[in-house]
Amino acid sequence: MEQHGQDPTTRIVGLFNESAELKRRTGEELAPTIVEAARLIRETLLAGNKVLACGNGGSAGDAQHFVGELVNRFEIERPPLPAIALGTNPVTVSATANDYSFEEIYAKEVQALGQAGDLLMVISTSGQSANILQAAEAAIERGLRLLVLTGADGGELADLARPEEDLVLRVDSRTTARIQEVHILILHGLCTLVDQELFGGGA
């Protein structure tokens, strides 16, 4: 079915243009913070700590994608880097959701696996997901730092971030799909900088 009176080809070209414009604008706005986020990841790893990551739906996929790039490799040959995607064990997730609540699925894993000095990357396009908020709260309680990827106004998740401890990368959009498209570019940018800063690789 055509949308906004447009033929399908015009609609697709419009989506590409919309995504490209948001990426261009976000790059100009967030480049310094993305560089700082890469330094935060580097400092975490050099201190012998690890990166944890979580999200819901597409953001869960992004969290797992990012961890895969760290543990395996991105664009250069280098040693595996310590990172864990939360929520990937269905037994743990279903047991926690059944015995306690779905809102605690990530917080429980943070409490079990997170150590002071680790970094928790939390990804939520709305910044309002209850289970992500609880994970962030658990991380703060255990002495982890936060790297927040969000959109729109950042929601409660951005409000949780501590100015002197944590970093927020907020994509200025209210369209979930566009935010997620920018998030994956941010994650690839982080991978490039981490490789460059730790191993002298990357473009």
The annotation status of 99 as a binding-site residue, yes or no, is: yes
* Residue 90: alpha-carbon gap to chain centroid: 21
Give the CA radius of gyration of the chain: 17
The annotation status of 166 as a binding-site residue, yes or no, is: no
CA distance 9 to 77: 40
Asked whether 122 and 98 are in contact (CB, 8 A), the reply is no
The annotation status of 19 as a binding-site residue, yes or no, is: no
The annotation status of 17 as a binding-site residue, yes or no, is: no
The annotation status of 59 as a binding-site residue, yes or no, is: no
The annotation status of 126 as a binding-site residue, yes or no, is: yes
The annotation status of 94 as a binding-site residue, yes or no, is: no
The annotation status of 65 as a binding-site residue, yes or no, is: yes
CA distances from residue 22 to 30, 86, 133, 153 in whole angstroms, order as listed: 12, 29, 26, 15
The annotation status of 173 as a binding-site residue, yes or no, is: no
In the chain, % helix, strand, coil (3-state, to 5) comes to 60, 15, 30
Q: How many CB atoms lie within 10 A of CB 9?
A: 8
The annotation status of 43 as a binding-site residue, yes or no, is: no
Binding positions are 56-58, 65, 69, 98-99, 124-126, 129, 180, 188
Binding positions for substrate are 56-58, 69, 98-99, 124-126, 129, 180
Binding positions for Zn(2+) are 65, 69, 180, 188
